[in-house]
């Protein structure tokens, strides 16, 4: 199986897979995870010098971030005995994609009195975002800013990172439009 080394979300690529010395001509099927994507491929067969058949399939696909980490598999088999024996080659898709960021909040209470709020910024990206920066009206925040505590950016998995900002005793007239 051959493909480009640099895989990016939304980019079209061609991947090729060859099977040689079959009789009759081998068929080649493609899978991303368990999803059959053979319909996005072409197949060419030829007779080689030993009067056996060679087959080459080219899969054309547009990479998607949801396929990151899934196996891409080509499976070659004889059409007369497809269940008896097949050969396969595979690779794990390492697809780069831009961060998708979400912010959630939760209230802090003590003795049923609201004492603060925690904002959590989560980023899903490949490569992962290692620095998440909080800001107030475009100004970068630090732990020295008023009643705020910022956490370090924490890696939560292969592509997920998060950071928290705790605001103690928030005021209703707080002039900040907080962003991460």
Per-residue pLDDT tens digits for 54-112: 999 999 999 999 999 999 999 999 888 766 678 899 999 999 999 999 999 888 887 77
Q: Where are the domains of the chain?
A: 7-93, 98-179
Q: What mean pLDDT comes out for the span 145-167?
A: 84
Taking the C-alpha atoms of residue 141 and residue 162, their distance in angstroms, rounded to an integer, is 16
- Main-chain dihedrals φ then ψ at residue 77, nearest 5 degrees: -150, 160
Q: Which of 7, 134, 6 is nearest to 62 (CA)?
A: 7
Residue 12's pLDDT is 95
CATH architecture of 98-179: Sandwich (2.60)
Taking the C-alpha atoms of residue 40 and residue 11, their distance in angstroms, rounded to an integer, is 15
Q: What mean pLDDT comes out for the span 129-156?
A: 82
Give the up-direction half-sphere exposure of residue 100: CA atoms within 13 A in the CB hemisphere: 7
Q: Which CATH number is 7-93 given?
A: 2.60.40.10
Do the strands 178-179 and 135-136 form a parallel or antiparallel pair, or are they unpaired? Answer: antiparallel
**Same fold for the pair 7-93 and 98-179:** yes
């Amino acid at each position: 199986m051959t493909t480009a080394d640099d895989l990016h979300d939304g980019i079209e690529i061609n991947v090729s897979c060859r099977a040689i010395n079959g009789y009759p001509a081998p068929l080649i099927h493609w899978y991303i995870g368990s999803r059959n994507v053979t319909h996005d491929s072409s197949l060419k067969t030829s007779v080689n010098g030993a009067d056996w058949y060679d087959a080459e399939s080219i899969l054309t696909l547009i990479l998607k971030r949801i396929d990151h980490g899934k196996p891409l598999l080509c499976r070659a088999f004889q059409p007369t005995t497809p269940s008896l024996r097949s050969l396969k080659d595979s690779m794990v898709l390492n697809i780069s994609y831009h961060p998708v960021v979400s912010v959630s909040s939760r209230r802090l209470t003590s003795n049923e009195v609201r004492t603060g709020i925690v904002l959590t910024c989560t980023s899903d990206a490949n490569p992962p975002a290692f620095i998440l920066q909080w800001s107030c009206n475009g100004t970068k925040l630090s732990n020295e800013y008023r009643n705020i505590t910022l956490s370090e950016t924490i890696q939560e998995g292969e592509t997920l990172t998060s950071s928290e900002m705790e605001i103690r005793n928030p005021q209703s007239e707080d002039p900040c439009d907080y962003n991460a």
